[in-house]
Amino acid sequence: MQRKILIYNSQTENSISTKELLSKKLIEKNFTIVSELDSEVELIVCIGGDGTFLDLIHEFDFPEIPIIGINTGHLGFFQEIMPDRLDEFIDNYINQKYSIQSMQTVMAHVYHNGTCEELKGLNEIIIASNANYAYSVHFDISIGGSFIERFSGDGLLVSTPAGSTAYNYSLGGSIVDPRLRLLQATPIAPMNTTAYRSFTSSILLPPDLSMEVKPVDNSSKVKITIAFDGFSKFFDNVSNIEVSLSETNVKLLRLESYDFWSKVKSKFL
């Protein structure tokens, strides 16, 4: 029985040469290398940076097959190994010296023009104006059906533990261990004046509660951007947006040497 591995890579020179070398080594170990996903593929290898990894999961609609990343980008937080460790990866994979880390995703149900559209992200969902923060937005925010506040500012970011080290961290949000099940809502440039009062720090939500975001002005002039993992869609006539944890998970193959907090230290400290 042939063992299929799909290799997905960015188009940088380093990524292409790494793919060629890895393909050669895997073929020598009797694996078959493919570029299309089907039911016989047992592993996806992503060569590039974190952006390439996010492109992969959206292009293949959050595949259930385990993914391992080879970092030829910059930060490479999702990427497990460096190009000089290909032999170590192959040996560990053949001998099953690895674990599977399940990463939660976040979803938004956007109600607009009498319809509902679902969007999903591994890192985060961002709700903002549709003009690259050119004007402030005003939202009524409820959690678990209870009204919390009227938020005013550039927008809101709701991140998963996986996304806590991305844009959320740049906004002053907390780094969250991916073994925890929660969502983190972090304000983007909140207003806090005598006229407007908004929360200025992150809010942590348990997995069974959702956040409802309702534009204060529900006229056709209200135009909202929903961004998810670097992708974005624009909406008008938005009545409300519900953000919650999704049942979809992304599986990362981790070698025995992987440790989340060691990676945090090496990438951020």
Tokens standing for 44? 């996806």
DSSP for 87-121, written as a single string: HHHHHHHHTT-EEEEEEEEEEEEEEETTEEEEEEE
CA distances to 42, 78, 80 from 254, rounded to whole Å, are 15, 10, 7
Q: Describe the chain by its helix, strand, coil percentages, rounded to 5.
A: 20, 45, 35
* Catalytic site positions: 50
Distance between CA atoms of residues 14 and 3, nearest Å: 26
| Sign of the CA dihedral with 230 first, then 233, 239, and 241 last | negative
Q: Which residues pair with 227 in a beta bridge?
A: 126, 232
Task: Name the DSSP class of 192.
Answer: B
Provide the token pair at 223. 């135009």
The first and second tokens of residue 105, run together, are 């995703």
